[in-house]
Amino acid sequence: MEYVTLNNGVKMPILGYGVYQIPDQAECEQCVLDAISVGYRSIDTAQAYRNEEAVGHAIQKSGVPREELFITTKVWISNAGYEKAKASIDESLRKLQLDYLDLLLIHQPFNDYYGTYRAMEEYYKAGKIKAIGVSNFYPDRYIDLVKFAEVVPAVNQVETHVFNQQVKANEIMKKYNTQIESWGPFAEGKNDLFTNPTLQEIGEQYGKSTAQVALRFLIQQGIVVIPKTVNKERMEQNFNVFDFELSAQDMEKLIALDTEKSSFFSHSDPATVEMLTDYAKKGLE
């Protein structure tokens, strides 16, 4: 496994396992156990995924020492604000059966995320969280938070894949020493990623799949990735991306695939903001 070193010295695996859209508790628990057995040590969940308890059960059953694992969760919009965020962090720790979190992120840049971040800073200083950061923060809101926060975000988890490479955003994050982390490294198959001719052609040269090339492209640029699959064989395939290196020419071909546009939605679009905030106001129960 390769690691990145966050701005506070904490080491984070560059490849992790994400549990987004696995709400079934039994399935999620088994998936995490499978991922850990394959070799994954970084697990990414969130309050909004409604599977923190399943992740916690898997961690306990895995037999892997706590210090070898890197566990991430995220504070949801409905838990924003200083007091509500603190209560939700305690609840996440309880569900995950952990004494501390390796990384805690603000899931979305909506509601009182300034209050949320103050609560996170407090837990960070108390040693209950090893690193804190944000998710889905575009450069404008990211810079605003950085300028007024006591602790610079260690990570910003944003949609990043061959079709939306976040080059400009990453430049700004590097300026302030924040690690970029990719959600959706496969763009959830959109734009026919798994059958893309460029990815296929490059994959054939190395005896690798399009998915492996897509992951390797990001990893080779120092971008943390957390691919999700419920299939153990694909978990193994996604994990097997450290035994080859893309050439400079192949990297250039993949860079040319960048559309600089989201394959999903824009957090700057009023309709998207209304959709997310209306959904969040319903809470997590």
pTM of this prediction exceeds 0.85: yes
Task: Using alpha carbons, list the distances in angstroms from residue 256 to 54, 127, 222, 259.
Answer: 40, 43, 18, 8
* pLDDT tens column, 157-201: 999 999 999 999 999 999 999 999 999 999 999 889 999 999 999
Q: Which of 94, 235, 228, 65 is nearest to 161 (CA)?
A: 228
Instruction: Report the pLDDT value the prediction gives residue 40, as an integer from 0 to 100.
Output: 98
* Torsion of Cα atoms, 91 then 96 then 98 then 103, to 10°: -90
Please name each of the domains of the chain with its CATH number: 3-280 (3.20.20.100)
Task: Using alpha carbons, list the distances in angstroms from residue 66 to 42, 59, 63, 235, 253.
Answer: 11, 8, 9, 21, 40
Active site residue 142: no
Q: List the structure tokens of 125.
A: 């200083």
107 annotated as a binding-site residue: yes
Among 49, 113, 123, 124, the one annotated catalytic: 49
The residues of the chain scoring below 70 in pLDDT are 285
Question: Do residues 105 and 116 touch, judged by C-beta distance below 8 A?
Answer: no
